[in-house]
Chain A
């Protein structure tokens, strides 16, 4: 399992610059928004957490279709499926998701505070937004694995993955953004939405790999 994790991590970082493109996309999305809404710093600092979250959501959806497709092309997906008697398939999927998250989503989370400074966000809001991103983005990867597994046999599955997954990722977005805002605005408490966000991540960590494993098996026979 650790070997699988390291292998996927290395592949994700080295091969084709998938992770780097994700960060570039994130940067591009976040820097485009000030051009659209105008350079008013007050407005930007109010919109900041929402912009970071939308950028992270889109960027992590972008890379998802490669989660299983690359493995299917070189045949290692078949090996994983064959080994499912020794290693439970949902567990392998979970490990793959974690590796994908470390390689291509974690850099986004690290880059988020820098972008937040450019958006004139307060330090507390900055910390809160980064924390919610750290906790919330794995949920998107986990549930996205289901979409990626369903679309693995499709030649142009990338867009379909986003269409299928985006509705399911909306709760994550809602609670992530509301927790980030709650840290700045006074009456709203930070902890409840943040805890719900944690719960969502945990639920999706179970639902996602299991349904993805079922979908991979179904695509195989």
Chain B
């Protein structure tokens, strides 16, 4: 990776650039991850409790409780691509050294959230719509998102050189971000089986507060879960790269030593 040009500024580096130092980042992550994990556990427990004690829907009965996990999964599947797009900008524009690590670490998490959103959605769809799957606009576009996560993961694994893989993945991520608004507004543009947005609307949520609160708490809980997992994955990836670099250096040293010796013996 080319070094960023040194336009020597006297000002101290901002916190964002300070994080470019992997050691400093790991130190910060070591401190933040336990706190986030505890917060995640508390929020999810509270959210699940509220979710199970929330009133049943007059039409859907108890199956409506799937909503408390399905909707957060679906939100997160889109938010994760958003985070990846920011990371992609970080790679391409600011050449932040941790941005590509962040992108690579986020992709599998996003894949799992998207898969869970699709799975819980079809478990919910079976009793409500009478079918596991319909080729409805939102379902199809989320499925396309699932395929895009798989494509990104395949791409990052296919290119050996990490910096080259990072740029390729960043470009594809940004192009793929076109799909996000299509998913968000698909239920408004194509009025199909999936219900339109009920929470984030201009005229206020159309969902009853007794259901809204558990939903929001679960959403916050899963968002915290996402960031916990994401930070952990970034930390793991940094460590993995360090180990690889060390192995490479060790191999080169060993190679140089034995190579030199054997050459000496032959001649």
A complexed with B: yes
Instruction: Show the binding face of A for B, using Cβ within 8 Å.
Output: 143, 146-147, 150-151, 153-154, 160, 163-164, 166-168, 170-171, 207, 211, 214-215, 218-219, 221
A151 CA to B155 CA in the complex, in Å? 8
Cβ of A167 and Cβ of B179 under 8 Å apart? yes
Closest chain B CB from A24 CB (angstroms): 28
Is the beta-carbon distance between B155 and A160 smaller than 8 angstroms? Answer: yes
- Of the residues B154, B167, B182, contact of A218 by C-beta under 8 Å: B167
What secondary structure prevails in chain B residues at the interface with A?
helix
Residue B164 at the chain A interface, CB threshold 8 Å:
yes
B92: CB under 8 A from chain A?
A: yes
Count chain A CB atoms within 10 A of each CB in B92, B145, B171 and give the residue with the most. B171
Q: How far is the CA of A217 from the CA of B158 in the complex (A)?
A: 18
Query: Closest residue of chain B to A212, judged by CB?
Result: B171
In-complex Cβ contact of A154 among B159, B171, B174 (8 A): B159
- 0/1 interface trace, chain B 168-183, chain A, CB 8 Å (1 if under): 1001101110110010
**Does any Cβ of A come within 8 Å of B101's Cβ?**
no
- In the complex the two chains form, is A218's CB within 8 Å of B168's CB? yes
14 residue pairs of the A-B complex, CB under 8 angstroms, read A150-B168, A154-B158, A160-B158, A164-B154, A164-B172, A167-B144, A167-B148, A167-B176, A168-B148, A168-B175, A168-B179, A214-B92, A215-B168, A219-B167
Q: Which residues of B contact A154 (CB under 8 A)?
A: 158-159
**Cβ B155 vs Cβ A150 within 8 A:** yes
Q: Are B164 and A218 in contact (CB under 8 A)?
A: yes
Q: Which residue of B lies closest to A155 (CB)?
A: B158
Which B residues have a C-beta under 8 Å from some C-beta of A?
2, 92, 140, 144-145, 147-148, 150-151, 154-155, 158-159, 164, 167-168, 171-172, 174-176, 178-179, 182
**Least Cβ distance of B206 to chain A in Å?**
29
Instruction: Return chain B residues, CB-CB under 8 Å to A164.
Output: 151, 154-155, 172
State whether A146 touches B158 (Cβ < 8 A).
no
Residues of A contacting B179 in the complex (Cβ-Cβ under 8 angstroms): 167-168
User: Looking at chain A's contact residues, is the secondary structure mostly helix, strand, loop, or mixed?
Assistant: helix
Q: Is the CB of A215 within 8 A of B171?
A: yes
C-alpha gap A132/B145 in the complex (Å) = 25
CB-nearest residue of chain B to A156: B158
The answer to whether A168 and B178 touch (CB under 8 A), given A211-B171, A215-B167, A221-B2, is yes
Give the distance in Å from the alpha carbon of A171 to the alpha carbon of B175 in the complex.
14
Q: Are B159 and A146 in contact (CB under 8 A)?
A: no
Q: What separation, in Å, do the CA atoms of A175 and B265 have in the docked complex?
A: 72
**Contact partners of A153 in chain B: CB under 8 A:** 159, 164
Per the bound structure, the CA–CA distance linking A150 and B145 in Å amounts to: 19
Whether B92 and A207, one on each chain, are in contact in the complex, defined by CB atoms closer than 8 angstroms, is no
B151 touches A163 (CB 8 A): yes
Q: Residue on A with the closest CB to B148?
A: A167
B151 partner residues in chain A, CB cutoff 8 A: 160, 163-164, 167
**Which residues from chain B contact A214 at a C-beta distance below 8 Å?**
92, 167, 171
Chain A residues whose C-beta falls within 8 Å of the C-beta of B2 in the assembled complex:
221
Give the Cβ gap from B171 to chain A, nearest Cβ, in Å: 5
In the bound complex, CA of A146 to CA of B177 (Å): 14
Question: What's the least CB distance linking B177 to chain A, in Å?
Answer: 11
Q: Closest CB of chain A to B167's CB: distance in Å?
A: 4
Chain B residue with minimal CB distance to A217? B167
Beyond A167-B151, A168-B178, A171-B182, whether A146 also contacts B164 by CB under 8 A is: no
* From A160, A167, A171, A218, contact of B171 by CB (8 A): A218
With contacts A143-B175, A150-B171 known, what are 6 further pairs, Cβ within 8 A? Answer: A160-B155, A167-B144, A211-B174, A211-B175, A215-B171, A219-B164
Tell me if B175 and A146 are in contact (CB < 8 A). yes
Closest-CB distance, B161 to chain A (whole angstroms): 9
A163 to B172, CA, bound (A): 12
Docked Cα-Cα span, A13 to B92, in Å, equals: 36
9 A-B pairs with least C-beta separation: A218-B167, A150-B168, A164-B151, A167-B144, A167-B147, A215-B171, A163-B151, A167-B148, A211-B171
Q: Is the CB of B168 within 8 A of A219?
A: yes
Chain A residues with CB under 8 Å of B155's CB are 150, 160, 164
C-alpha spacing A154/B155, complex, angstroms: 10
